Amino acid sequence: MVAIDRSAPGRFLRAAFAPNDSVGVLLKTYRTGQVIQRIVPVTTAAGDRFQAWLRYLNSHGWNVYVSVNAYRPGRSRARSAVAQVRHLFLEEDVDGPGLLAALSTRPDLPPPSYVLHSSPGRLHVLWRVRDIAPPGVELLQKQLARELLTDRAATSSAQTTRLPGFFNHKRNPSSPVGIEYLRWRDVFCAEDLPEVSAATPTRVATTTRRSVMASGPVERARAFLQRVGPAVSGQCGDLLTFRVCCRLVRGFGLSDDEAVRVLSEWNARCEPPWSERELRQKIANARRYGREPQGGLL
């Protein structure tokens, strides 16, 4: 079995929570359905003795989860026991790279604090936040889950994430849970995040993301563009279009002609639409100056 980083759980807990926070730790084995839960100070959860206990259970097939928010000291892991919202959270268990590509085109969302890789292709994306009440973060998580086609069941303020540095035993073979630290030192407030819309958004077919992984590059690129808002003049539309072109010709590896065809429906929503000549110039710039790894979204 692949070796794991024993320092990873403690580093995440210390980065994600305040020293006086309490967190919910959940252990579950899918062989029997047994569950163990603890509400402990974050210093206890990160401590050597507690971590040794978690490693022992994980080595015997137990999965290790931790709450994304802080709890009141006690025994309850219910939503009503959440003391402080520490994270905005999204879970993607179908097309992780596609979600990251979609997030990179959202000017209303800052870069994530960290991206947790729960298993190959599956992600938990978290932003550190402050001064947001549980009902507010739940509304925003539900809205983003609808817009980005992530898991709409994973929007409670009592949500858990996998603790990095342990193995995910839910699928065979087991895989180590890893994490990428991005803007983890920044803590965002409501003004840094999208506003919650009062209107009920149009539902997007949930089959789109489900079929993406089995599709070719052109189909995947089309599915990606269905999740990208239009470029609007005066609202960073030029930058958004450049990023979109980078995803198409570099990330998805499309030819120039394929990219122009795929862009046609999305371009019709732009305000105003780009001419074909302008699109081809942006595609050429994306191919020349973009930093997206070639084929990185395949």
Alpha-carbon distance of 36 to 199, in angstroms, equals 40
pTM: 0.71
Co-location of 107 and 14 in the same domain? yes
Structural domain of 66: 8-192
Co-location of 159 and 232 in the same domain? no
Q: What is the CATH number of the domain that holds 51?
A: 3.30.70.1790
Let me know if residue 207 belongs to a domain. Answer: no
Co-location of 18 and 130 in the same domain? yes
Co-location of 252 and 143 in the same domain? no
**pLDDT of 24-78, one tens digit each?**
999 999 888 899 999 999 999 999 999 999 999 999 999 999 999 999 998 788 8
Give the total number of structural domains in the chain: 2
pLDDT at 2: 63
Let me know if residue 38 belongs to a domain. Answer: yes
Let me know if residue 1 belongs to a domain. Answer: no
Calculate the alpha carbon distances from 92 to 16, 117, 123, 286 in Å: 20, 10, 5, 27
Co-location of 186 and 120 in the same domain? yes
Helix runs in the chain, H state only: 8-16, 42-45, 48-59, 96-103, 134-148, 207-212, 217-225, 237-246, 256-269, 276-289
**pLDDT of 71-123, one tens digit each?**
999 878 889 999 999 999 999 987 787 788 788 778 889 999 999 999 888 89
Co-location of 136 and 221 in the same domain? no
Q: Is 280:267 a contact under the CB 8 Å cutoff? A: no
Query: In the 8-state DSSP scheme, what is residue 201?
Result: P
**pLDDT of 243-269, one tens digit each?**
899 889 988 899 999 999 999 989 999
Alpha-carbon distance of 143 to 85, in angstroms, equals 17
Co-location of 141 and 20 in the same domain? yes
